[in-house]
Amino acid sequence: MTRRALILLLILALLPASVYAAVLSGVARDAETREPIAYVTVQVLGRSDAGDEQAQGVMTLDNGRYVFGNIPPGRYLVRFSRIGYTVREDSLVVREGYDYTLDATLTVEPVPVEKIVVEEDRYTRIGAVQPGFVSIRGDQLSSLPGIAEGDPIRSLQLLPGVQAASDFSSALYVRGGGPDQTLVLLDQATVYNPTHAFGFFSTFNPDATGAVNLYKGAYPAENGGRLSAVLDVRTREIATRNFNGKVGVSTIATRLSLNGPLGRASWAVNGRRTHLEPLLNVIRDEDTQVPDYFFYDLNAKLSVPAGGGRLEFSAYNGSDALDFDLGVGTSLKLDWGNTVASGAYIRAFSDALLATARLSFSDYGSTTTASAFTTPISIENDIRDVTAAAELAWEVGLRHTLSAGLQAIKYNVGFNQDFNSETIVSYRRKPFEAAAFLSDRWTPWAETTFDLGARVRYIDDGERWLFEPRAGFAQELTPTVRLKLAGGIYHQYMQLVATEAVSAADFYVPIDGTAEIGQSWQAVAGLDWRWRPSTLFSIEGYYTDLSNLVSLDNTTPANATLETADDIFYLNGTGYATGVELFARRDIGPVTGWIGYTLGWTRREFPELNNGQQFPPKYDRRNDLSAAGEYRRGKWRFGGAFVYATGQAFTPVASRYTIRDPATGVTPDDIQLIQGERNSARLLPYNRLDVSVARDFKLFGARAEWMIEVFNLYSRRNEWFVQYDRTEEVVDVTVARMLPIIPSLGVTVWF
Of the CA atoms within 13 Å of residue 247, those in its CB half-sphere come to: 4
Q: State residue 10's pLDDT score.
A: 36
The torsion angle over the Cα atoms of residues 250, 252, 254 and 257, rounded to 10 degrees, is: -90
Which residues of the chain register pLDDT less than 50?
Answer: 1-20, 111-127, 146, 148, 501, 503
Q: Name residue 273's amino acid.
A: R
CB 141 within 8 A of CB 150: yes
CB 670 within 8 A of CB 656: no
Q: In degrees rounded to 5, what are phi and psi of residue 565? A: -60, -35
Q: Give the other-Cβ count within 10 Å of 349's Cβ.
A: 12
CA distances from 401 to 310, 331, 452 (A): 22, 55, 11
Q: Give the other-Cβ count within 10 Å of 18's Cβ.
A: 15
CB 170 within 8 A of CB 160: no
Q: Give the other-Cβ count within 10 Å of 519's Cβ.
A: 18
Residues 6 or more apart in contact with residue 356 via CB below 8 angstroms: 62, 344, 345, 346, 347, 389, 390, 391, 392
CA distance 608 to 556: 13
Of the CA atoms within 13 Å of residue 179, those in its CB half-sphere come to: 26
CA distances from 586 to 123, 141, 536 (A): 11, 16, 7
Q: Which residues pair with 416 in a beta bridge?
A: 380, 426
CA distance 714 to 718: 11
Buried b (16+ CB within 10 A) or exposed e, 718-742: bbbbbbbbbeeeeeeeeebbbbbeb
Q: State residue 383's pLDDT score.
A: 92
CA distance 331 to 337: 21
Instruction: Check residue 646 and report its DSSP letter.
Output: P
Q: State residue 154's pLDDT score.
A: 79
Question: Alpha carbon 658 to chain centroid distance?
Answer: 47
CA distance 457 to 470: 14
**Average pLDDT value over all residues in the chain:** 82
- Cβ burial of 51 (10 Å; 0-12, 13-18, 19+) is exposed
pTM greater than the 0.95 cutoff: no
- The domains of the chain, with CATH numbers, are 3-106 (2.60.40.10), 133-750 (2.40.170.20)
Question: Alpha carbon 358 to chain centroid distance?
Answer: 21
CB 348 within 8 A of CB 519: no
Nearest residue to 390 (alpha-carbon basis) of 360, 358, 362, 361 = 358
